[in-house]
Structure formats: C-alpha cells, structure tokens
Amino acid sequence: MVDVGAKPATPRRAVAGGRITMSQQALAAIRSGNAPKGDVLSTARIAGIMAAKRTADLIPLCHPLALTKVGVEFSWEDNGISVTSVVQTTGPTGVEMEALTAASVALLTLYDMAKALDRAMILGDIRLIEKSGGRSGDWRAE
C-alpha cells in the first residue's frame, strides 16, 4: 500500500455514477414495487452503502477508511435506472474507490433483483463524476 501516514487529514468527497438499461416490463415492475424479489431500489441502496464500507476488503491495496457519509440515489430513465453515489470522509486519502464501488454494487444488485424479469439488462457508464479534497484538489468530469 502507498504510505499516506504523513499526509494531513482533510475533508474528502467523491461522487460516482452508472446506469442499467432494461426492458419496459422490468422497469415497470421495479417502479410499481412488484418485482419478484421485493423492494429493488431499497435493497440496491443498502448494498451500495455496505459495499462502500467494505471497499478495502474488495480492492487489493486500497486503504480502509472511516467513512463519514455514504449515499446512494436512483433516477428513472426512459429505458433504465441511473445510480449516483456520494462518499465522504476526513482523512489522508480520497474516497473515489469507495464511491465507484458503491455505484457498481448498487447496479449489480439491481441486476440481481430484476434478472427474473430481464436477463438482457446492461450495466454501464460507471465513472467518477467528481472528487474534492486532498493535494490534487477538486476535479469534475466534463
């Protein structure tokens, strides 16, 4: 692991996102709360939050961090659902990996919860949207 021991603890924040496309049938079932496995969005939100907290267990050489905030939100699209995760901490290293992990696992959970309705769903566009804090300062995707 990279030694971050001498770096000052500063506020860090990262926002990541992605999307899943699916059939209108699957989308309607999720929206109405009639998916076979239950409340899809609530389950995916909890999965994303849990994943952010366990990122160091999943990504080799990633520092374990004491996160101060993890949020996972969803937006309806014409042919799918987009996810946005926000992760914050005060520490010597950033939370980009935690935000990306939260978004990815939330999307994977959406797939798992709706696969009985549509096995052709497509996960994609997983990306860092913005980050702030640390030596490299603020960054935002164009």
| Residue numbers annotated as active site | 112
Sheet bearing 10-21, strands edge to edge = 69-77, 80-91, 10-21, 122-132, 139-140
The Cα 23–Cα 134 span in angstroms is 41
Task: Give backbone dihedrals phi and psi of 71, rounded to 5 degrees, phi first.
Answer: -130, 140
92 and 7 in contact (C-beta within 8 Å)? yes
Which position has the token pair 């990996």?
97
34: buried, middle or exposed (CB in 10 Å: 19+, 13-18, 0-12)? Answer: exposed
